[in-house]
Chain A
């Protein structure tokens, strides 16, 4: 059995463990917060779709456009106007333009809130068509397939 340790009266001991713990916790907290803030994915309620295919792996260089419930089109945390959307899409389209076909291989993922008006998605589709972007994906929450169907 270990012999009890004597504690000298008047000795001031500084416990470093809780301080290091707090520091690590804060570090993790800020790392996660930064990650979320820079994320391209807005907090949206996506529509459910049984036929949705897993987005794994996502296409490299894909542009993610979010449509919020109140109808704003957002890209990397910024609101885009129609003109801004057109300019951004035109720029992205030029980067992956296929000279033979005149089409752009730039992929676009539209993440629209399920309650957002369709006009916003329609605007994106129209702007994509104008700049010859054809690879459009609509984000959906995966749902279990209904029973009795193929």
Chain B
């Protein structure tokens, strides 16, 4: 009877390493997987780290005015900045947005987008400065969203109102 080996079929590992009855243990030509697994793990770690470092953060430029004190008082002919006020209600946990005295809506429900539209309209009159007046208890993301909206509406100078000490 002809054996399977003569047909060139792959020999199962169990059969190759099987101890022959009465004979010594024979180690077959085994494939060492360890280096390959190592390489895979090394690559995995490398890519995990590389992905983390590659995720770059962005930034919004919020340069402070270079003038201080009495020099910062606008001259009479200079137009006042567009004032965007953010009022936080801790009970409802909602932020109200105003441009000047005009109510724009709840920040999470299109208030900031409405403010952006209004700022664009005001800008056509020649005012190129805006000021964000936010309550200290307001979550920072609303300030960031407002700053983002003002940058998008192409306001040239954006400043932050200081709260009284």
Interface of B, helix, strand, loop or mixed by DSSP: mixed
C-alpha gap A26/B94 in the complex (Å): 48
C-alpha gap A67/B42 in the complex (Å): 34
Kindly identify which residue among B140, B147, B152 contacts A114, using a CB–CB cutoff of 8 Å: B140
How many positions in chain A have a CB within 8 Å of any CB in the partner chain? 56
Contact check, B145 vs A49: say whether CB atoms are below 8 A apart: yes
User: What does the 1/0 interface line of A109-150 toward B look like (CB < 8 Å)?
Assistant: 101111111111110011011001111111111100000011
Interface of A, helix, strand, loop or mixed by DSSP: mixed
Contact check, B138 vs A117: say whether CB atoms are below 8 A apart: yes
Kindly identify which residue among A47, A56, A122 contacts B144, using a CB–CB cutoff of 8 Å: A47
Contact check, B45 vs A28: say whether CB atoms are below 8 A apart: yes
Chain B residues near A (Cβ < 8 Å): 24-29, 32, 34-35, 38, 41-42, 45, 49, 56-66, 68, 134-145, 147-148, 151-152, 160, 162-163
A to B CB contacts below 8 Å, 30 in the list? A4-B27, A6-B24, A7-B25, A25-B41, A47-B145, A49-B58, A51-B148, A51-B151, A52-B58, A52-B60, A52-B148, A53-B59, A53-B61, A54-B56, A55-B58, A109-B59, A114-B140, A116-B140, A117-B139, A118-B138, A120-B140, A122-B134, A128-B64, A134-B66, A138-B60, A139-B58, A140-B60, A141-B57, A141-B58, A142-B58
